[in-house]
């Protein structure tokens, strides 16, 4: 095992909103939409930020899924100086976004664990193909 060239320096929630549906329809589903912003520090080319927002709930309407909400996190990373310049942004788009999504997924699970419909797990997603585009899932 080798250490990652991407080291997490800090992470924090910028926005958290989770609402429980009053009643879950028989065919509850979900839609996941992601918004990603990646930036490099103007002072240090090795410092990067990833801000990821995830909106969830079928068709964006409360009541079509057990929970509906929007969570936004920001993560700050430090890259190893030997990591190739041309690979830095793709690393942030895929690995940085994946780490941010994991934090959002954990946050939603923790918040809903005491909700009326039990723990709600956002589906696993891959940022390899989507690179921050909307992801839709019919998982229940």
Is residue 1 included in any domain, yes or no? no
Domain with residue 56: its CATH number is: 3.10.420.10
Total number of domains in the chain: 1
pLDDT > 90? residue 16? yes
Per-residue pLDDT tens over the stretch 86-136: 999 999 999 999 999 999 999 999 999 999 999 999 999 999 875 444 433
What is the reported pLDDT for 61?
53
Is residue 113 included in any domain, yes or no? yes
Is residue 93 included in any domain, yes or no? yes
What is the reported pLDDT for 136?
38
Is residue 129 included in any domain, yes or no? no
Is residue 10 included in any domain, yes or no? yes
pLDDT-derived band at 138 (thresholds 50, 70, 90) equals very low
Around Cβ 101, how many Cβ atoms within 10 Å? 24
Average pLDDT over residues 57-69: 70
Is residue 136 included in any domain, yes or no? no
What is the reported pLDDT for 6?
94
pLDDT-derived band at 137 (thresholds 50, 70, 90) equals very low
Is residue 135 included in any domain, yes or no? no
- The range of the structural domain enclosing residue 35 comes to 6-123
Is residue 73 included in any domain, yes or no? yes
């Amino acid at each position: 095992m080798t250490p990652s060239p991407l080291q997490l320096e800090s992470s924090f929630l910028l926005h958290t909103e989770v609402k429980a549906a009053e009643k879950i329809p028989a065919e509850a589903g979900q839609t996941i939409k992601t918004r990603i912003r990646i930036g490099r520090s103007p002072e240090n080319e090795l410092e990067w930020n990833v801000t990821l927002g995830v909106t969830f709930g079928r068709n964006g309407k409360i009541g079509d899924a057990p929970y509906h909400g929007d969570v936004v996190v920001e993560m700050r990373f430090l890259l190893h100086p030997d990591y190739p310049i041309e690979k830095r942004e793709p690393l942030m788009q895929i690995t940085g976004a994946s780490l941010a999504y994991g934090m959002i997924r954990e946050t939603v699970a923790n918040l809903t664990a005491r909700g009326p419909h039990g723990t709600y797990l956002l589906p696993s997603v891959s940022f390899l193909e989507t690179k921050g585009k909307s992801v839709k899932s019919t998982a229940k």
